[in-house]
Structure 1
Amino acid sequence: MMTEKKMNLPDVHTELYINGKWENGEKERIAVINPATSETIAEVAQASKKDTERAVVAAKAAFKTWSEMELKDRVSILHKVGDLLEEHADRLALIMTLEQGKPLKEAKGEIQTNIESIHWNAEEARRIYGETIPAPNNHKFEVKKQAVGVVGAITPWNFPSSMIVRKIAPALAAGCTVVLKPASSTPLSAIAIFELFEAAGLPAGVANLVMGSASDIGDVLTTSKDVRKLTFTGSTKVGQLLYEQCGQTLKKLSLELGGHAPYIVFADSDLDEAVDALVKMKF
């Protein structure tokens, strides 16, 4: 007879991460629930609007130093994060499985994707080239690519680790600083990644983590003039609201909305194989 092996949550912070410090938020903590057992596995700090505003201030203050840091040093820190992700892969996967519910094998696959993404973005930072454009009368136009500033990021629950890395890694590589709001049901995966940011020597204020009310945090990120770009993955309805709010400050906006995609099956295809592939991709 097979017995079920209980998986215990590894040690992980439960606080906000603002300006290089772990701290409790102003609001009451909320429980993180294991969807497989319905048990509470942690209680996580919640940020108020004031906490989020402090995170934005920290990110803005850190921007000049981070964006002007020697490129080789910035790249080195990102590679260190990638190395730490690989070193802690099993721990990160277990945290994800316990709070989000996906099979451990899939969680490990997601972490592997993160490792590759971090290293890839670190190297792409070396190739942020400008352009020289010929113009009439012996003139030349020079195009320089510069970091936009503070980036606000809002991520979903379904890929609680890879969606964070997919948004933050290119931002950090480009020289931007970040304020992240993860999904309320899967904050521990975000916290575990930020622990590695800290261990890798990411300077204080470069990456900040706030958990809490979507309306409170979202309001600050969309209306603050200091946040120059917002990246969001989630529902179309929320995306429309963010689009409207960001218009007040003319900030750049990246949206990935509505997780449905067309699946085309041609008349001459193997229908059974197509159905199997569709089920695997969707579920």
Structure 2
Amino acid sequence: MSQPTQPVWFIADATTGLAAALAEAVLASGQHAVLAARAPAQLQALVDRHPDRALALALDVTDAASVDMAIVAAERRFGRIDVLATSAAQRYPGAIEEGEEGAMRALFEENVFGPINLARRVLPGMRARRAGHIVMLARASVQAPAFEGFSHAARSALEALAEALFYEVEPLGIGVTLVDPGSGDDAESSAPRAAGIADYDGMASRTALGRGAAQVDAARGAQAIMQAVAAGRGPLRLVLGRAALQRAYDRLRVLKVGFDAWADLAASADVPAPVRPAHPVPPAGGRPRRAVRSRA
């Protein structure tokens, strides 16, 4: 079929949370969307409302073959992918000491390698067209909270990769935006918690997990993402919601306070500046020449 004139989105994990709201908003705006999830049947009702502009596909971001098949099917249907939206929504709560290696590796497969491999798979087409945008949903703008270290580490790894990718592909006309959806995105799911260690039980930071989260309106968040993408290459970072933005500012202030407090000690590690001699150094082989006084 002929390629559509409207942008084509590929939205991973499109069944819940902000990704689901983004799917609704993209299709409502007249654009095209490939909606991918492990259970694509949950997306069929949305596809049925927009049969000419929507496609539901099965996708497991931790399976390279599944990624390849989904991208091939999307390009076969619409000819290209203009915007990729993917997320890091898996949590693994617990103390660092409590972590189990298998669960830790699975978390990084889901939250880091999955989104990055999706991006790597769509980039050749975007490079060829010198156009495209990659959106990654990852709550990485806040300070790492106790007992959420694994989740934050995975999101921070994705943040670092997204930042590097931003500078790599920006000269090629491709945008990268890392979106912090705030605390209201209900798409997060938790892996089974590892066996606890008694010394950590009852700590306030552990019992406070998940409490007091300010809700972000998913529909408004989706509109904000679409506006950022429509602006061109968009911002590298987009924080959604006042509460999330305040936490991001708080993180910056904490970092600055720490840097300022230890600035003198940090500077003391510099290589010493060379000491300049107080008097001119005689030229090799003799004494310095005396200045010749001019005669009036």
- Provide the TM-score with structure 2 as the length reference: 0.31
Larger radius of gyration: 2
Higher relative contact order (CA 8 A, sep 6+): 1
- Provide the TM-score with structure 1 as the length reference: 0.32
